[in-house]
Amino acid sequence: MDIEREDLNHRRSRLVKYNGMCFLSGQFSDSGGDITQQTTETLAKIDALLERAGTNKSRLLTAQIWLREMSDFKAMNEVWDAWIDPSNPPTRCCGQVLMADPDMRVEIVVSAAL
């Protein structure tokens, strides 16, 4: 089975498809703003990449959510809970990390079945 890579450069592929699965690189907001705005924009990017891969959020298998500040956890979860397919939630973890960009409040990595 071939590995399909999209939007790649010397460091990463934004989307990889292999063996009936789709793997996305970490997605984040390209604009500033509060955690609500950044989470909303990040999830919209995930939706677009999943659609491009031929799948959607109802097929998510796992999600990793990285927050700059755990004080953003509640507000991020409000956006996440409104976005996620409640009948098909993925496994999920969330942790605080030091972000490469000081304006970045959230980064989300997901994998989905095709």
Domain residue spans in the chain?
A: 4-113
Measured on CA atoms in the order 104, 77, 44, 26, is the torsion positive or negative? positive
What is the per-residue pLDDT across 44-100, written as a single tens digit (0 to 9) for each?
999 999 999 999 999 999 999 999 999 999 999 999 999 999 999 999 999 999 998
Whether the per-residue pLDDT at 32 is higher than 90: the answer is no
pLDDT value at 1 more than 80: no
* Alpha carbon distance 24, 41 (integer Å): 15
Which CATH number does the domain 4-113 belong to among 3.30.230.10, 3.30.1330.40, 3.30.70.580, 3.30.70.141? 3.30.1330.40
Q: Please, what is the average pLDDT of the chain? A: 96
Q: How far apart are CA 91 and CA 94, in angstroms?
A: 11
Q: What are phi and psi of 60, to 5 degrees?
A: -60, 140
pTM, two decimal places: 0.95
Question: What's residue 113's pLDDT?
Answer: 98
